Structure 1
Amino acid sequence: MGMTSKQEAAAAVRAKKVELGITWAQLAKAVGRPVAWTTAALLGQHPMPEAEARAAGELLELGPDVLHALRLQPTRGALDQPVPTDPTMYRFYEVLQVYGPTIKELIHEEFGDGIMSAINFRLDVSRAEDPQGDRVVVTLDGKFLPYQW
């Protein structure tokens, strides 16, 4: 068995996805998980249980070395550089720079001293039609975790 990294596995997933014309939604259905979780897992941010890795691998015609890499524990949140340069990802960085202090204040005012979990977490990306141009709706849904003193 080869020593394929999670990054190499993610590249293989993206290449096969394009080659075979498969969507993230189709992969999520095959894996039996939400589309955001499945996408993150196939891009290397979650370890995939064997059955889920196998289901994705069958649909994408992936080899055993890639399936093994999909099952490995990831180093989460590891980007190539500290500030993302990809325009789509940079916009989220920009949103946090502009609205991060506001989000923090509103969380503390509504819930008290604590944080939003990124572990007990759900993510959804959807489209909202708008006469001035469709809108991207990103829902970040994390459990509130109070600080324990």
Structure 2
Amino acid sequence: METETSRKSSVTNLLQAVRRESGKSFNQIAEETGLTNVYVAQLLKRQAQLKPETAPKLRAALPELPDELIHEMMRPPIRSYDPNLIQEPTVYRLNEAVMHFGESIKEIINEEFGDGIMSAIDFYCSVDKVKGVDGKDRVVITFDGKYLPYSEQKSEHMVSRLQQQ
């Protein structure tokens, strides 16, 4: 019996093969669909759910995508990752950068917005290539997350919830 993890792996391998055979980059598909390049990659890695209104755009960008894969992509995904992924040098360095700058980023978020967090829900991410002041290629990663303020836990809220039950 196939596990959900092995099913996901099989589907993502098929999705990646369709993209490779199309000859299109994540950026090209993103441009054709109106999505970010990272979101396109997330869809093809089954880390994001394909929405019904986006399916025709993806189908137009990747016409060889079979109906069964489109339907699979519309199911809620298993958002998991291989724990060994941290060993991949780019992922390791990205994690290192976030950990190195994380405390300062948190302080600035709190200073600018108050006590709260940047949410991973309604989160946008993109990767861009720019020329640096030295003329060399640079990577720009944009994280665009909704701010969620910390909620004070008042007893009236619990009383109200209990009364509703």
Aligned pair partner of 1:65 in 68, 93, 113: 68
Q: Which stretches in structure 2 are left out of the alignment for 5+ residues? A: 153-165
Deviations 1:49-102 (Å, cap 9, x if unpaired)?
A: 2453354346251333322221110132x1110662221112111112212122
Q: Which stretch of structure 1 is more off in the superposition, 34-43 or 119-128?
A: 34-43
Structure with the bigger percentage of strand: 1
Residues 47 and 71, structure 1, Cα contact 8 Å, conserved in 2: yes
The AA in structure 1 aligned to 2:39 is W
Evaluate the alpha carbon distance shift between residue 124 and residue 32 of structure 1 in structure 2; reply closer, same or farther with a 3 A threshold. closer
The AA in structure 1 aligned to 2:22 is L
Alignment partner, residue 143 of structure 2? 140
Alignment partner, residue 131 of structure 2? 129
Alignment partner, residue 46 of structure 2? 44
Deviations 1:98-118 (Å, cap 9, x if unpaired)?
A: 121221122112211100011
Separation (CA, whole Å) in 1 of partners of 2:122 and 2:32: 23
Residues 131 and 137, structure 2, Cα contact 8 Å, conserved in 1: yes
Identity over aligned pairs, percent = 35
Structure of larger gyration radius: 2
TM-score, with length taken from structure 2? 0.75
The AA in structure 1 aligned to 2:29 is L
Alignment partner, residue 119 of structure 1? 121
Residues 126 and 137, structure 1, Cα contact 8 Å, conserved in 2: yes
Alignment partner, residue 94 of structure 1? 96
The AA in structure 2 aligned to 1:39 is A
CA RMSD of aligned residues (A): 2.4
The AA in structure 1 aligned to 2:77 is P
Aligned pair partner of 1:5 in 3, 7, 10: 7
Which of the pair has the greater relative contact order for Cα pairs under 8 Å at 6+ separation?
Answer: 1
Separation (CA, whole Å) in 2 of partners of 1:109 and 1:124: 25
Residue-pair matches, total: 146
